[in-house]
Each structure stands twice: as structure tokens, then as C-alpha cells.
Amino acid sequence: MKLELGNIIIHDIQFGNVSKVEKGIIYINKDELGALLSEDENIKSVSFEIARPGERIRILPVKDVIEPRIKVSGRGGIFPGMMAKVDTVGTGRTNVLKGAAVVTAGKIVGFQEGIIDMSGPGAEYTPFSKLNNLVVICEPVPGLAQHAHEKAVRLAGLKAAAYLGNLGKDIDADEVEIFETPSLKEGILKYPELPRVAYVQMLQTQGLLHDTYVYGVDMKQSLTTILYPTELMDGAVVSGNCVSACDKNTTYHHLNNPVVRDLYAKHGKELNFTGVIITNENVYLADKERSSDWSAKLAELLGVDGVIISQEGFGNPDTDLIMNCKKIEAKGIKTVIITDEYAGRDGASQSLADADASADAVVTGGNANMLIKLPPMEKVIGHIEAADVIAGGFDGSLKSDGSIEVELQVITGATNELGFNRLSAR
């Protein structure tokens, strides 16, 4: 599969009478977009704010972050199974509003949601402080069940991102990136001397608001399977979970997966990037055994020499991570795992809930239990009281002056297990 990404560099977002992209600025008609999102009967009210890099703004609780994209040519549409039909995506041309994002916020859905600071020390821990963000604040109708609430906010974010993305459909891109993965047979013939490498991406599917969707299907209902990497770039995988903010893969992460990008950078030069194996992280032991068996089987079927395995979440999924590692290593395939740590505030506790000698090549995104202090901001978008109840916060986290004392896990993307962050260890 071959995909072109046409990046339209965005420098600012402003509200205006007409929605358009002009000279690197997104102009948004709030009434038009608000009417679109208010079609969902589960949303009581929707409002919009703009948060730019460097502004003294705090956003919480953050549900998802989504990059606006639009299919210009090729099969299907962006976010298949959600905003478009379920045609296989990953080919043709997709335009990207690079430097912009939609951030969904509002009343807390589940306690495992996050904070984005646009300036100050907290901003240094999240990549989203560097973006021009349209914040969509969705308040649910009274008494709405949590799963219906999550769905309403998730779809509102995707609708808003698709709406913005469509504004770039006829705009000339500032730069074009090309990504291509040959078929299995073509790859073997084209790069016979290069080591074959696959990427095993673990998707959060523990239930209880821990959901990830693939072509619109909840991944917990699916067996481990294979995707072309370019399918990820067209929105085939969408976040729908409320796991701890620090290592949640937002939809933005899936669209811009750095493991995929780094493997493409070495493809045809140092290695042969054969594809992506996606697998779930279910709760029960039988499900974990089944999914990890399939991960190892598909890695063997692809005939790869090595794999990179990334985790999403912590604790229970640590078992899935180690199962995948052990079983793939047992096939004679070398592995590198990417995770993060919950090692206590002093860093002295066991980092993972499971371990094995075969997991001898590990990349860590940092210790999520590290205690940090976030200064007060001039403006808070959302609900500041959530600081005392979100994962990583505690009773008394929110101080009278508006400052917050919390664990690092409250910051969206801080210890991301795709490596989409600024932390690591040696």
C-alpha cells in the first residue's frame, strides 16, 4: 500500500463567520460546528475554546486528542467505521492540518482522564502543548450512563476533526510525505538481504471504558490481526478509552504513531518493515493466552527476524506484554518492548506487574508515579475540581491558589508507550 500525506502547516486557529483554511490559519464558524455536534441527543450543550502554545491555559479533564485529516483520493474516508464507510483505507492522498488538533473535554466520563497545560512545567511533559488546539467542551444530558457519555464525546471529537479536516481538502499542501509497504512477496523479492521487522501494537481493551476501535469494531471482540501501517495513518484505529492519561494512546497518537514512522524511515535501508500486528489486552487469562498465541503465530507467518512490541496502559496489560514477548521470542524472533513504569513516587518499587528473562531489551517512557507540582493558570477550560479525582490526583491535589500537586500520570501523553513523549531512562 502507498499513501501520501499532504501536510498543510497550521499556525493558528481563530473563530470567524466562515469556516475555512487560509494562509495557515483555521477559521471556524462556531454556530455551524455547534449545530453539527448538537445533533446528538445525548449532548446537553457544546461549546468551544482555543488553546495555543505558550498560553497560560489548563485543559481538564481531557478525553481525546484528534488530528484533523481528510481523504483527497484513494479508497474510503477518514475514520472508517466511524465517520466513513468501512472501506479499507491507507492508499491515495490524505491531507493533514499539521500543527492543529481537536481536544475533547467536559464533565468527567471516567476517573482516568487527563490534563494538558499549554505553558509552564506541565507543558514540557505533553506533546499537545505544542499544538493549536480547538477544545470541544461536551456536557452530557443528566443521568446519561458512562458508556453512552463516552460514546457521545468520542463521536463529537471525531465529527469536529472531520469537519476541520474537510476545510483542507482543496488546499495545496506545504509538504508531501510518502509511505509505502509492499506485499509480503514483493517485500521478500525487493529486499532479500535486509532483516524483516514487524511492529506488534497492543491496544487497550480491558472494558469498563477501556476500549479501542478498529474500523469501528471494539477490538476486544476481535482476534489478533494484521494491518498495513498506512491504515493507521488514515484513522483505522480510534481511541475510546479512559485509561490513565500519561500512557493513553489518543487518536492523535494512532494517526502519528512514532514507531511506525521510525520503521518507515529505516525501511529499505536498514530493515524491511513488513507490517503491523494489532492485538488486544483483555482481562481474562484465556483471552490473554489466545491473543498472545496469535501474535506469535502471525509474527512467524510473516517470517520476521524481529519485532517491536508496544504496550498501552499498565498493571493488568503487563501480563499481555510479557506473554507476547515470551511467545514471540520462543519462535526465534528477537523482541524489543516499549512500556512505562509505575515504580512508586520514590521509583523504588517493581516497575511492571510481570516480568520474564526473555524481556531483555526494554525501552521505558518514564515513571508515572513521580510527583509534580503544576502552577496556577490564568484560564481553566473544563472542570478544575476533577484534579482531585482523576487517576494520579488525590484529595487535596487542587490547592486554593489554583495550583495542583499530582502524579505524572495525570498529564496526557507524559509517559506514552509509543515513545511519543520526552521521557526515557538509561
First CA to last CA distance, the chain: 37
Helices (H) and strands (E) in the chain, counts: 8, 25
3-state secondary structure 203-233: EECCCCCCCEEECCEEHHHCCCEEECHHHHH
Name residues whose C-beta falls within 8 Å of residue 306's C-beta, 6 or more positions apart in sequence. Answer: 195, 196, 197, 198, 333, 334, 335, 336
Q: Are 380 and 346 in contact (CB under 8 A)?
A: no
Contacts of residue 265, defined as CB under 8 A and 6 or more positions apart, other chains included, come to none
The single-letter DSSP state of residue 267 is B
Cα–Cα distance for residue pair 290/284, rounded to 1 Å = 10
In this structure, the strands spanning 334-341 and 100-106 are: unpaired
Quote the CA–CA distance of 55 and 50 in Å, as a whole number: 10
Coil, strand or helix at 201: strand
User: What crossing angle do the helices spanning 146-166 and 30-37 adopt, rounded to 10°?
Assistant: 140
Q: Give me the amino acid identity at 244.
A: S
Q: CB-based burial of residue 72 (10 Å sphere; 0-12 exposed, 13-18 middle, 19+ buried)? A: middle
Q: How far apart are CA 356 and CA 275, in angstroms?
A: 26
How far apart CA 252 and CA 96 sit, in angstroms, is: 12
Taking CA atoms, 244 is separated from 70, 206, 307, 323, in Å, by 29, 13, 26, 22
Distance CA 346, CA 329 (A): 32
> Which residue in the block uniquely carries the three cell numbers 472542570?
383
Is 242 noted as a catalytic residue in this protein? yes
* Active site residue ranges: 242
